[in-house]
Structure 1
Amino acid sequence: MRDGSRKLEEIELSCTGYIKTSSGEGKIKLADISDKMPLNSFFDRGIEDDDCGELVNLALCVPGIDVVAVGPSSCSRVLYFRAAQKGLDERLFLFPVSSKEFTTGNHLKTLEEELEGLVSSRRSKAIIVYITCADILTGTEFVSITKRIEKQYGISIRVFERGPLSRRRTLPKERLANIFIDLLQRSVLQERRGHINLLGDAGKLPKDSGLRQILKTYPTEKIREFAALNSYEEFEDLANGTLNIALDPFGYDLAVRMQEKWDTPFIYLPARYNMKEIKHNYAALMEGLQVTWDYSQDAKEYHRVRAEVAGALAGKRIAVGIGSRSFELAYALELMGLLVSAIFVEKVNEADMTYIPMLSTMGSQAEVYLVSNITVETQLGEFEGINIALGKKAAFYCLKAKELLVSSDYQFGYEGIMKILEGLQ
């Protein structure tokens, strides 16, 4: 908590963050956060990556894969509503288990019967049995059941243990990626087909996407998009592509595993806001495809809009809170001459440590708030003067600011930063 009579040394601190200490709310320089907070630990990454609803939806987005969720009713309801939001609940089957059944293990026999009924009544291509921490903690053994049904009915059944409590020290999305690779193993052909795979979980690329336009210059038969598959056969065909383009960390995990298994080359093109990194993505794509692409017009339009926005927003205070890429966006905005006054984050990870020193070096006056520490008093007193809130987290705390939500869809090249600048206009 701060008041109007801050000490001089407090005013001079730039790029500072708030953390909980034994004496209440504390403020530290971001340069010191790596010494005072565990950065990107396995457990932290497991918690961060453990959005169970999104993980199940990621499995359900593959046509032909059914998911059987085994666990307490409270967990099942969350999964159902998240799947229903995306229209994926038709292939989600809930198997609620009571505390008594967990204790006795009686639910295993019933689950076996349910799986047999599902296999007999549907044309599932594969089944993923999703189990929660309760069964992981009690050491419930599912493999013998799934193997027997696999052998009898000839259908692939895999067990997915959610959460950081899994016995194997891999993250939830990494375990799901391993399951996908295991399912693809059956589909590898001796000769590759001439298609490119777009790997990622952010959604289908728009028709006017710059990446899609560049790919049209490449002599390929088809483009397979993991997030927009039309059939299980298309999913299986991912194993036979000539090139993988990874669009996000999940796509990167898949691409690395496919390179290890089948020597499939890949290019990693994560969405970027920073000019230098945007140009690097263009260069990496053109080198990987062995094509040329003139993006100078996109660059000129970016510089034109950037100049207009910088003039229109001179002196306006901006808050950024878009999730894991908040520091990256804040740095890009500061490079344009815009005034970023607040950055909202849930935690600081290794990727952030690339941008934090850069912000400090350029003299940024941005203050960084860990959302778990923001009090009502802080919200009422600190953010009154914020003019624009970028992202849900910033908008939640900066109640009087103009709200601008940032799309979570994949944006290639200048597309992401251009949409933000156009919104700021």
Structure 2
Amino acid sequence: MTSQQPARRSLQTRLALAYSAGIYAAGVFVLVLVIVPLAGVDAATPVGHPSSSVTTGTGRGISLPHLLTGSAVALVILIPVALALGWFVAGRFLHPLRAITATATSISAGDLHRRLDLGEPTDELTELGHTLDGLFARLQASFDAQRHFVANASHELRTPLAGLRTLLEVALADPEADTDTLRSACQEALALGEYQERLVKALLDLATSERGISRRERLDLAQIIERVLTSRRDQATDRGIDLAEHLTPSVTTGDPRLIESLVTNLVDNAIRHNHPDGHVEITTQNSGAQVTLSVTNSGPVIPDNQIQRLFQPFQKLAPGRNGHREGYGLGLAIVNAVTQAHHATLTASALPDGGLSITVRMAHTSHPALNQAQRGKDGGVRTVP
């Protein structure tokens, strides 16, 4: 047995009934204002005197009974007139809403490039249209970025898999392969597997960062940085890079795991893309209502017009320029995603002698309202010349 859907009355019908009721009530009110005084005059007329009537300048006019009859007829005629006017006014009022609905339906079907463009006059509905246009633009950018990310991720994952398959096929096809040859092939296969593991972990970190904050806790940036630097000092020493830290207790709120991921990727990026005998300087400080984390490193010269690209997934200025295969072009993309998730401010600038300086500003715990003030304002990388 199928359940019947209740009859649905359109919004235009409801508005038309409301408008026509108002028009009809206004007509009744006007007639009452005219008839009640006349009825009062008629009731006060002495017996034997002519009853009151609506007179004109030329003689006797319409009597009160005739006026009442005419008013009743006018009220009957006013019903269809009020309904027609109510339907017309409701249709004019709902025209922009119908345009919004039609365009939104088209966009939901896949045409993400369309916009409402309601134009003037500016009222509540056109403001809604402008808000939806902004939403559609952000959705289009998000879907484009997602498609681009999936394509790049597929390419990055396919490359090591193809290399691993080729390595194994060559080793198996060699009839004279001895134990040392097979052992060497297995070691290279393990190295490729570790590369894939790190790449998948980086992809998961990026996806988690873009999803947003699931929990917010009080944390000290200086303590997190100390833990990260402790695990990276040997790597920096092997490459001849000096790690300098100037840490001031900087308490903020956020997801501890995401903040640690942000710090780790900033430090790894500064170490990886550096010169031998280079330096990395990490600083935290309190500045009014904000806590500031700055990471500055030496390295190759970076054109100012390329800084924004570095914070996009799988973007590298010179892949493998240091001979290291551990870079995927995801580190700064993760930093950008974590910054946006915390509604923080990310500023990047290229140093004249080479290298990069990145600053992240977050709200101090004593100023919780700052996060709300920053909502909707951040979300991109600010480049400082």
**Which of the pair has more CA radius of gyration?**
2
Say yes or no: TM over 0.5: no
Larger helix percent: 2
